[in-house]
Amino acid sequence: MGIKKKLFDEYDYDIVDDFLIHYSIMTYQMENLIIYLSKKEQYKQNVEELFRIAHNIKSATMFLKIDPISKLAILTEEVLEEARELDGPANDEFIDWLLAVKDQFAKYNDDIDNDSDIFSDLDTNIIKIPTNIQKIQ
């Protein structure tokens, strides 16, 4: 049984459908937010929005017991929590890491849409969490 069919079998159709729509939208919105972290004047607002997206994904996927996505969302939320304490702008290493995270969320979205039997493997670049987030000026 595929991932999507299993979700629809285990949960109310409207809950799953709402999740799938919102998850797709949030994943799509991440790219521009991430890219503009390199602009000091947009850093704070974009980090806050990315944190909100990660938190919402975490909450929904924990409820739906979608472990690969919730684990990635937890990690992302923790890293963004640290980034919230900084003034920015973000360095290239952090932006690249977040883009890899966004791509992984998109892969997971495709896995669900295609009703795959299993989720895609995690991009190993995500394991290498950047230790320095802020661009040195």
Condensed to tens digits (0 to 9), the pLDDT of residues 100-115 reads 999 999 999 999 999 9
Q: pTM for the whole thing?
A: 0.94
Q: How confident is the model at residue 90 (pLDDT cuts 50, 70, 90)?
A: very high
Q: Report which of 51, 60, 56, 35 is spatially closest to residue 112, judged by C-alpha positions.
A: 60
Is the N-terminal amide bond of 68 cis, ω within 30° of 0? no
* pLDDT for position 76: 98
Q: Where are the domains of the chain?
A: 3-127
The predicted-structure confidence for 16-47, as pLDDT tens digits, reads as follows 999 999 999 999 999 999 999 999 999 999 99
Q: Which residues contact 128 (CB under 8 A, 6 or more apart)?
A: 97
Q: Does domain 3-127 have CATH number 1.20.120?
A: yes
pLDDT at 132: 78
The angle subtended at Cα 24 by Cα 113 and Cα 90, nearest 5°, is 130
Give the C-alpha separation, 131 to 82, whole Å: 10
- What's the chain's average pLDDT? 95
* Predicted pLDDT of residue 136: 65
Distance CA 72, CA 57 (A): 9
Query: For 40-66, how does the pLDDT look when each residue is reduced to its tens digit (9 = 90+)?
Result: 999 999 999 999 999 999 999 999 999
